[in-house]
Amino acid sequence: MTTSATRAEIDESHAQFRGAWRLFALGSKAGEVVERPDIYITAGHVTWSMMNVAFLREPAETEQALSAAAASAARYFAAGKHGWSFVISDDWLAPALRENASSILAWYGLKAELGVTGMVAEALQPPTRPLPSFDVRAVTDTWGRQAVADINATAYDVPQHLGREAFDEPTLYGRDCQGFVACRNGEPAASTLVMRVEQAAYVALVATLPQHRRQGAAEAAMRHALQQAQRTWGVQRTILHATEAGQPGYERMGYRPVTRFHMYMAPPPGQH
């Protein structure tokens, strides 16, 4: 647990993660959300395994509890054709479980692939430098959706068609999900999604194309997105889950760390 984080903030970070991925799943053509006593599944049923996710419903205190949850998720995804992910935070595992989690989950084909830090800001800090001159456009059409998809596919080093399968979906964008693309000279540079999850603005898909990095494009898109969230939804508290590369920039904007998550990934059925 981060020293300044409360149990309520840690639990909120979990709820926001689940809530955002719920919106992703419900915005997908074949997606669904499945709530079981020990596991919460948000399945986009797309090829990119990061978008087919299982979450714990509550902290795991024993190896049996963690194994049962992983087994339940594995049975669900075994009926499909895509890889999947299991997202777990350190603070939701009993201390004795943390060292053994990887070996327990390996039984179900899961391998730790990505770590992210849950972060929160009650309000953003003013920019530490003048914001650059990017034109930030709302996602309203195929061009915008594909820009978000392509920027994130590049950032995560996956094929373009996987990004578009996951994010070029008109049904994803709507009342509770708005997308923005920072552009320079008419070309996409960075993306941000802001999602209304309970009483907070959840920030997702923050990414920048390599040639535009370290120029403030993502910050420009994020600040614009959060201004729109406050104007449209009346929410100022904002939550995200940061990669190691992104965390310092978020801290400059006023976010503080709450808890550490690990994303374990399993290949498609039959490819163990």
Domains of the chain with bracketed CATH = 7-118+260-266 (no CATH), 135-236 (3.40.630.30)
Q: What is the pTM of this model?
A: 0.94
Mean pLDDT over residues 85-112, rounded? Answer: 95
**Residue 15: is it exposed, middle or buried by C-beta count within 10 angstroms (0-12/13-18/19+)?**
middle
**For residue 101, is pLDDT > 80?**
yes
By percentage, how much of the chain surpasses pLDDT 90? 91
**For residue 3, is pLDDT > 60?**
no
β-bridge partners, 60 = 93
> From CA 191, how far away is CA 94, in angstroms rounded?
36
Pairing relationship of beta strands 200-208 and 187-197 according to DSSP bridges: antiparallel
For 12-41, what is each residue's pLDDT tens digit?
A: 999 999 999 999 999 999 999 999 999 999
**For residue 135, is pLDDT > 90?**
yes
**For residue 2, is pLDDT > 90?**
no
**For residue 270, is pLDDT > 80?**
no
For 37-72, what is each residue's pLDDT tens digit?
A: 999 999 999 999 999 999 999 999 999 999 999 999
**Residue 195: is it exposed, middle or buried by C-beta count within 10 angstroms (0-12/13-18/19+)?**
buried
> From CA 162, how far away is CA 130, in angstroms rounded?
35
User: How high is the pLDDT of residue 272?
Assistant: 58
Kindly write down the DSSP assignment for every residue of 235-261, as one continuous string: ---EEEEE-TTTHHHHHHHT-EEEEEE
Whole-number Cα distances in Å, 145 to 76, 141, 150, 173, 186: 29, 6, 9, 9, 15
For 185-238, what is each residue's pLDDT tens digit?
A: 999 999 999 999 999 999 999 999 999 888 889 999 999 999 999 999 999 999
On the CB side of 117, CA atoms within 13 Å amount to 19
Pairing relationship of beta strands 52-56 and 84-89 according to DSSP bridges: parallel
- Which residue is listed with tokens 């935070």? 89
For 166-187, what is each residue's pLDDT tens digit?
A: 999 999 999 999 999 999 999 9
Mean residue pLDDT of the chain comes to 94
Question: How many helices (H) and strands (E) are present in the chain, helices listed first?
Answer: 8, 11
> From CA 195, how far away is CA 238, in angstroms rounded?
10
By percentage, how much of the chain surpasses pLDDT 70? 99
Whole-number Cα distances in Å, 258 to 11, 126, 184, 223: 10, 21, 34, 21
β-bridge partners, 259 = 118
Task: State the pLDDT confidence band at 128, using cuts at 50, 70 and 90.
Answer: confident
